[in-house]
Structure 1
Amino acid sequence: MPSPAVNQWPRWLRITVVGIATAAVISGGWLAYRYFAKPVYLTVAAGSLDGEALSLISAISARLAASNAHTRLKVVDSRTSAKASELLASGNADLAVVRGDTGGLADARSVLLLTHGVVLIMSPSTTRADSLGDLRDATIGVVGGPVNRPTVDALKQVYQFDRAKVRFQDVAITEGAAALSSGQVQALLAVVPLTEKYLAKVRQFFQPAGAKGEAPKLIEIESAGAVANVAQYYESYDIPKGTLRGSPPIPSDDLTSLRVSFFLVANKSVDADTITDLTQSLVDVRRDLLSQYPILAQAAAPSTDANALIPIHPGAATYYNGNQQSFLDKYDDKLYYGSLLLGSLISVILAAWRFANSGGGSKSKLEPLYELGSEIRNARSEAELEQTERRIDDILREELARSAGGEGADGEMAALGLAAQRLHYLMQQRRTVLRSSQRTGD
C-alpha cells in the first residue's frame, strides 16, 4: 500500500507520475522492437573487369531490399577480385565476391558458389598445335592481364614454356581481337563462365568489327590434372563438345581444360545467424533473378568438406544442412523470459493503478467501523463512548444515503449492519465495565 505521505499527494500528481512511467515503459518497448526488427546491413565488395560481378550483386541487393529481407547488402565496387579480397581481410567489407585463386582468403568463409570460370586457350583454326604442350615459339595473350596471372603461374609449374619458347603477354579485353589479327599474339587465354553471354564475347575475338572472321580453335590443357594437383584452387574440367560453336562443333569432342570457382564469401567473424538468414534469402532471390541473370543457374552450395578450398561459413552450413532451428527452438528462452517480463509489467501496472487511486477515500466504511472497535475497548469514560457512538451513527447515516442513491451494494449494507451490531454490543460491555469500576471506586 502507498505510504501515508504518498496518500497526501494530489490525485492529478499521482496520475501524472503513473502516466510518465507508463509512457517510459511503452517507449522502451517500442525502441527495443525497432532495434531487433530493423534490417541488418552487410557490406559486400564486388568487382570484375567487365562489370558483371558488380551488376549481379547490385541486382541481388535491390531484390533483397524490395522483398523486405531482414539481412540486406550494401554494395562496394572493388573493381577486381583481388581488391575485394583485400577489403574483406582489412575489415572494410563483411562479404566479397572472389575467385578461388585470389590470395588473402585466410579469414574468408564461403556462403554461396556463384559460378565456375573455365580456362579457354583459343587460337586461329590454322594453328597446328592441338594441345598446350604442342605449342612452340608462340605468344599467348592473357586477356585481363593481372587478373589471370595466377592461372599462368599455375600452368608454368607443369609446362616447360621456356624450353618451348612460349611467352605470355597481357592483353586488354578490348584489344584481344586486334592482337590476334595483327599477329602480335598467336593465341588468347581467357577465364570465363560457360554462358552464352560470355561465349559471345569470346567469339568476337575472331570476328572483329562484325566481319566474318576465321573460326577459332580451342587448345587442350592435356596436363590439367597435374596443374590441379599443384594449384588446388583449380580442377580439371572437360569442356563439352560444341560449346563454342554448334555446327561444325567447336570443340569437335570433349576437351580437357581447367576451371576455377567464384564464391560469395563472408568474413569468419560475421554472426552465424545473420549468414544463415542471408543464405536463405539468396536462395530465394536466385529463383527470382534467374531469367534476368542466367549465370545464376550455376549457383550452388559450396563444399562442406573440412578440407575445402574455402571452408564454409557455419551460418551457411546450418542452412544447407537443414539444421535451421524453428521459431520456438530459436526463441524459446526469449519467449520464456518475455512472459515473465510481461507478468511483471502487468503487476507494475496494477500497482500503479492502485497508486493513482490511493488516498481517494474508501467506498465502504467497514474499515473505519473496525477501527472504532479498538477505540471502544480503550474508552475511559462514557463521554468517549457517546462520542464514538455519534461517529457510528454518522457512518451509518452516510451509507444509508449512498444506498438510497443506488451507489451501495446489498452485501455491503448487510456487512455494515452486522458491524454496527457488533460495535453496539462492545459499547454495552464497555459501559458495564466503566460503571462497575466507578462503583468500586466509590
Structure 2
Amino acid sequence: MSHRYPIRLSRKIFLILFSLGLIVSLTGYVVIKRNRVHHLTIAAGSKQGESYIFSQAMAQVVAKYNPKIQIEVLETKGSEENIQLLEDQKVQLATAQADIPALPSARIVSKLFPDMFQLVVQANSGIQQVSDLKGKRIGLPPEGGGQYLSFLFVAKHYRLEETDFFAFAVSEKETDEAFRNNQVDAVFRVRPPGNQSILDLVQNRGGRLVPIDQAEAMKIKQPTLDAGFIPKGAYQGSPAIPATDLPTVAVPRILLAHQKVDDNLIQEITSILYERRQDLAAVMPEASYISPPSVLVGTILPIHPGAQAYYDREKPSFLQENAEWLGLLLSIALLIGSWVWQLKSQLDKKQKNQGDNYNQEILALMKQIECCQDLGSLETIRHQLFSKFESVVNALDYDQITPESFQSFTFTWEAAIAALRDRRSTLMATPTPIPKSTQAQ
C-alpha cells in the first residue's frame, strides 16, 4: 500500500506539468502568431518603370499602416519574368501587363493603372505609322519582358516579321542613350502617359510620337487590350505634345499574388491599397486609377480569395439580398404550419375523444360485471370485452386513436378483465339455490 502514493503523486505531477506546458505552448503560439512579421517579395520590372515605382510606394505605405507586413521590391526584366518568378514561388507578389499570359498559380489582386503602347521615332526617320518600321532600328525593352512581347504582337498585326527590323533589346537607360546618339530610329514602350523617360525623348531629344491605331482590331485576338489615347499635351502644354489626342493601344497593369499566399495577408494589402490610395497617389499619381479586377475583361485568372474577401466586405449577405422573398416564404410557411397545427389539434382531439369513448364503454361493462348474477351472462360480457379490445387495436392501426389513448384503454380493459375473474370466482363459490317446489317433494 505504501508504494501506491508515490506513483499516484507522480502521475498527478506529470498531469499538472503537462497541462501547464500545453497552456504555455498555446499561449506562446498565439503571441508569436500575432507578433510575427511577414516578409514578402514583389517582382516589379525595371527601376525606371512605373511598376517598380508603384511597388516601392506600396511597400512603404503597407509598412506604415501595418508594420507586420514588409515587402521587398525586386528589379526584373518585366512581366514575363515576373510571372515566372511568381509561378516558381520565388516571389509572392508581381506586377504584370494584363496581355501577358499568366501561369496557373497566379491570382489577381487588383487592377493598378492603364499602360499605353507608345512609339517614339526620330524626327527625320520618315516613320509615320507602325508599318514604316520595316528595315528600321528599333529600341526595345529586354527580351523576356511584357513590353517586348507586346511589340511583337503589334508588329505581327501590321504584318511585320522579326526579320523585317533590327531589334535593339537592352535596358531602358541604354535604349535612351542609343536614341540620343541616333543609333536607333524608334523606341517602343508600354508606359502610362507622362512617363519621364519618354518625356525626355520628345522634349529634349527631338523625338516624335507616332499613333498606333487599330486597337479595336487587335482586341479581337487579345481581349485584354483596349482602345486608348495619349492626351493632347501629355508631355508638353505649349506647344502641345502630342498636338492632338493620339490614338494608341491601352492595356491594364495588374497586381498578382501566388495562390498560396495567406488570404488574410492579401486582404490586408488590398485594404491598404484602396483605403490609403491617397498616400500612394502622393508618390505616384497613377495610383488613383486603382480599381477592382472585376472590371477587367479578357482574362480567365481568378481573383485571390483574400482580395475577393475585401471586395465583398460590403456585399449584402444572402439573407439581406433575398429578405423580401425569404419573408414571403416564411409567412407562407408559418401560415401552412398554422393550418397543419390546427388540423393536427383537431385530429388529436378526435383521437382522444374516441379513446375516451372506448374507456367509457369498458367502464359500462365493468358495472355490468358487478351486477352479474350468473356465469352465462358473465361469459357474454367476456366476449364483449375481447371484441372491444380487437376494435381498439384496429383503431390504433388506422390512427383513429393515439398511442396514449391506447395505453389508457389497456389499463381500463385489464381492470375489467380482473373484475371479471373476481366475479366469476365469486359466482362459482356461491351455492346454487334449490327451488322451493323441489324442497317440498
- What's the TM-score once normalised by structure 1's chain length? 0.59
Distance 2:96 2:298 in 1: 19
Query: Which segments of 5 or more consecutive residues in structure 2 lack a partner in the other structure?
Result: 318-441
1:239 aligns to 2:238 (yes or no): no
Q: Taking structure 1 as reference, are residues 5 and 120 closer, same or farther at Cα in structure 2, changes over 3 Å only?
A: farther
What are the ranges of 5 or more consecutive residues in structure 1 without an aligned counterpart?
A: 208-212, 327-442
Which residue in the other structure is 1:117 paired with? Answer: 115
Are the equivalent residues in 2 in contact too, given 1:71–1:277 (CA < 8 A)?
Answer: no
Cα distance, 1:221 vs structure 2: 1.1
2:84 corresponds in structure 1 to 86
Contact 1:142 1:190 in 2 (8 A): yes
Letter in 2 for 1:281: I
Query: Could you say if the C-alpha distance between residues 267 and 139 of structure 1 is closer, same or farther in structure 2, counting changes exceeding 3 Å?
Result: same
Give the whole-Å Cα distance in 2 for the aligned partners of 1:168 and 1:78. 20
- Residues 35 and 323 of structure 1: is their aligned pair in 2 closer, same or farther, counting only changes over 3 Å? farther
Give the residue type in structure 2 aligned to 1:43: L
Matching of residues 112-191 of structure 1 within 5 Å: 112-133=110-131, 137-144=135-142, 146-147=144-145, 148-161=147-160, 167-191=166-190
- Give the structure 2 partner of residue 61 of structure 1: 59
Task: Report if aligned partners of 1:46, 1:79 keep a CA contact under 8 Å in 2.
Answer: no
1:250 is the counterpart of 2:264: no
> Would you say the 8 A contact 2:130–2:155 is kept in 1?
no
- Deviation of 1:80 after TM superposition, in Å, equals 3.6
Contact 2:139 2:188 in 1 (8 A): yes
Amino acid at match of 2:200: Q
For 2:26 and 2:238, locate their aligned partners in 1 and report how far apart those are by CA, in whole Å. 68
Q: Deviations over 1:301-325 (max 9, x none)?
A: 2235685354322321221233579
**CA distance in structure 1 between the partners assigned to 2:287 and 2:24 by the alignment:** 44
Equivalent position SS for 1:265: strand
Letter in 2 for 1:294: P
Indicate the structure whose relative CO is greater, using CA pairs within 8 Å and at least 6 residues apart.
Answer: 1
Give the corresponding residue for 2:212.
221
**Which of 260, 267, 281 lines up with 2:258 in the alignment?**
267
Length, aligned pairs only: 314
CA RMSD, Structure 1 to Structure 2 (Å):
3.9
Larger Rg: 2
Give the match for residue 45 of structure 1: 42
Q: Distance in 2 between matches of 1:69 and 1:31?
A: 21
Find the counterpart in structure 2 of residue 277 from structure 1: 268
2:313 alignment partner in structure 1? 322
The CA deviation at 1:112 is: 1.9
The whole-number CA distance in structure 2 between the counterparts of 1:102 and 1:169 is 21
The question of 1:30 aligning with 2:27 is answered yes
SS where residue 270 of structure 2 aligns? Answer: helix
Q: Does residue 99 of the first structure (1) align with residue 97 of the second (2)?
A: yes
Q: 1:206-241, CA deviations, whole angstroms, 9 ceiling, x for partnerless residues?
A: 56xxxxx56432111122222232233432211111
Residues 415-426 of structure 1 mapped to structure 2, 5 A cutoff: none
Q: How far off its partner does 1:75 sit?
A: 4.7
* Matched-pair contact (CA < 8 Å) for 2:211–2:247: yes
- 277, 293, 310: which one aligns with 1:286: 277
Whole-angstrom distance in 2 between the partners of 1:31 and 1:7: 36
Contact 2:292–2:311 under 8 Å retained in 1: yes
- Deviations 1:418-437 (Å, cap 9, x if unpaired)? xxxxxxxxxxxxxxxxxxxx
Please state whether the residue corresponding to 1:122 is helix, strand or coil: strand
Match of 1:203 in 2: 199
CA contact (8 A) 2:108 2:256 kept: yes
Output the CA distance in 1 between the equivalents of 2:165 and 2:74.
38
* SS of aligned partner of 1:303: helix
Return the alpha-carbon distance in structure 2 between the equivalents of residues 94 and 159 of structure 1: 37
Superposition deviation, residue 73 in structure 1:
3.5
Q: Distance in 2 between matches of 1:21 and 1:162?
A: 74
Q: 1:39 to 1:62 in 2, by over 3 A?
A: farther
Paired with 1:306 and 1:236, the residues of 2 have a C-alpha distance of: 13
Query: For the residues of structure 2 that align with 1:239 and 1:201, how far apart are their CA atoms?
Result: 15
Indicate conservation of the 8 Å contact 1:304/1:312, yes or no: no
8 Å Cα contact 1:290/1:297 also seen in 2: yes
Whether the 8 Å contact between 2:80 and 2:100 is mirrored in structure 1 is yes
Secondary structure at the residue paired with 1:226? helix
Q: 1:5 to 1:325 in 2, by over 3 A?
A: farther
Alpha-carbon distance in 1 for matches of 2:182, 2:112: 36
C-alpha contact 1:203 1:216 (8 A) present in aligned 2: no
Question: How big is the shift at 1:89?
Answer: 0.8
d(CA) in 1 for partners of 2:75 and 2:171?
20
